[in-house]
Amino acid sequence: MMFSKFKQSFKMAMKSIVGNKGRSALTMLGIVIGVASVIILTGIGGGATKEVTDTISEMGTNRITVMMTRGANSSRSIRLKDMQSYLEDNPELVSMMSPYLTAQPTVKQGTKNIVTSLDACDTSYEQIGNLTVESGRFFSDYEVEKRKKVCVVGTYIMQELFGGVDPVGQSLKINGSLFEVIGMYEESDDSTEGSGDDKITIPYTTATRLFSQNINTYYFYTDSEDTVVAATNDLNRYITAKLGTDEGFRVSNMLSLLDSLNEMTGVLTAMLAGIASISLVVGGIGIMNIMTVSVSERTREIGIRKAIGARTTDILSQFLIESVVLSGLGGVIGIVFGILVGKLVAALGMSSATQWNMVVLSFVFSLAVGVFFGLAPAKKAAKLNPIDALRSE
């Protein structure tokens, strides 16, 4: 019984919407734009988030960074020996460790010289840093131990200093010291200045002497992501105990970076969605206007329906369903439109990932807008006195 009344109301709503195509389309436009902009904006936000998290994941979420923040030469720095013994004592938490040092030295070959970014590390960094040597090899434990002046270069160095010829076996000068090139990384970006290919790697033992600097950073590596958080906390405790203070150093991992990044982009996405949903509310006001007009126009129809036995709730539900169908239809059109524009944006090279939870949410929201803004006109219709309504033209 309720169903046939509902079906009847739905049918009447469709008739009324189809019967006033132009007006219905204009009414729905606000909702269409609102829903579409929610989907497009959250899609772009989601795409950007995904791009950043992918980059971070590529860098390795299994990595833990221990950084001395008081400067490498401070007396209150953790010693390399302590880090090594931690690695040996905690095989269940961490599997590898590499001291790390970075510098911006001048690199010279023949008459050409450039400033590049230098990483100094242990042999394990090849894996920790997710490096791939294309030609030649990475340096060995022996070379680290003997402070050999060997280096692995990026493709930008090859382009700039060796004229694009494989430099393995050649030599170059770093801050005036002669180094042998023993390997070259595969191209990771586009071999331009400042890219991931603009780099050079040497043993940390060589670097501490060359730059007269102590190690200020250690990278730890866990075999599984599951132990990252536990290892981070444990390292924190260990170093705090060693130094007698919990200041002057920082232990961090990519996972927590990812978390805080996700949180940030989440807030950003929510803000975008919030702004977009304002147009949904405006669309709802449009629906309220049209429904109010529709009720006035159909006063006589309401009178007839009441005379032949429509209850207040029958009239209320008829008009409420009409406004919900109107806003729901607008929502569906907006979703289709939003997804298509998202695909277009993606095709144009920007990252865009349709947020399906936002699709569902904006559809539900558009239905809610229909109920909320349809209620007042529907109540007005339901309260009409049948005698007055029948008398109207």
Residue with Cβ nearer another protein (16 or 124): 16
Closest CA to 73 of 250, 219, 240, 212: 212
Long-range contacts of 240-245 (CB under 8 A, 24+ apart): 242/78, 242/82, 243/76, 243/78, 245/76
Structure tokens belonging to residue 272: 């975008």
CB of 11 to another protein, least distance (A): 9
Residue with Cβ nearer another protein (148 or 305): 305
What is the Cα–Cα distance from 365 to 370, expressed in whole angstroms? 9
CB of 280 to another protein, least distance (A): 30
* Main-chain phi, psi angles of 72, to 5 degrees: -65, -25
What is the Cα–Cα distance from 331 to 361, expressed in whole angstroms? 10
Residue with Cβ nearer another protein (63 or 305): 305
CB of 308 to another protein, least distance (A): 4
Residue with Cβ nearer another protein (41 or 302): 302
The half-sphere exposure of 42 on its side-chain side, counting CA atoms within 13 A, is 27
CB of 294 to another protein, least distance (A): 13
CB of 298 to another protein, least distance (A): 9
How far the first Cα of the chain sits from its last, in Å, is 32
Residue with Cβ nearer another protein (257 or 390): 390
What is the Cα–Cα distance from 76 to 70, expressed in whole angstroms? 8
What is the Cα–Cα distance from 36 to 325, expressed in whole angstroms? 17
CB of 379 to another protein, least distance (A): 13
CB of 333 to another protein, least distance (A): 23
Residue with Cβ nearer another protein (72 or 304): 304
What is the Cα–Cα distance from 333 to 359, expressed in whole angstroms? 12
Residue with Cβ nearer another protein (6 or 356): 6
| Helices marked H in the chain | 2-19, 21-59, 80-89, 125-128, 141-145, 155-161, 204-211, 228-243, 254-297, 299-307, 312-347, 356-383, 386-391
CB of 271 to another protein, least distance (A): 45
Closest CA to 334 of 264, 276, 248: 276
Residue with Cβ nearer another protein (19 or 349): 19
Q: Is the distance from CB of 93 to CB of 201 less than 8 angstroms? A: no
183 by DSSP, 3-state: which? strand
Binding site for another protein (CB under 8 A): 1, 4-5, 8, 12, 15-16, 19, 300-301, 303-314, 386-387, 390-393
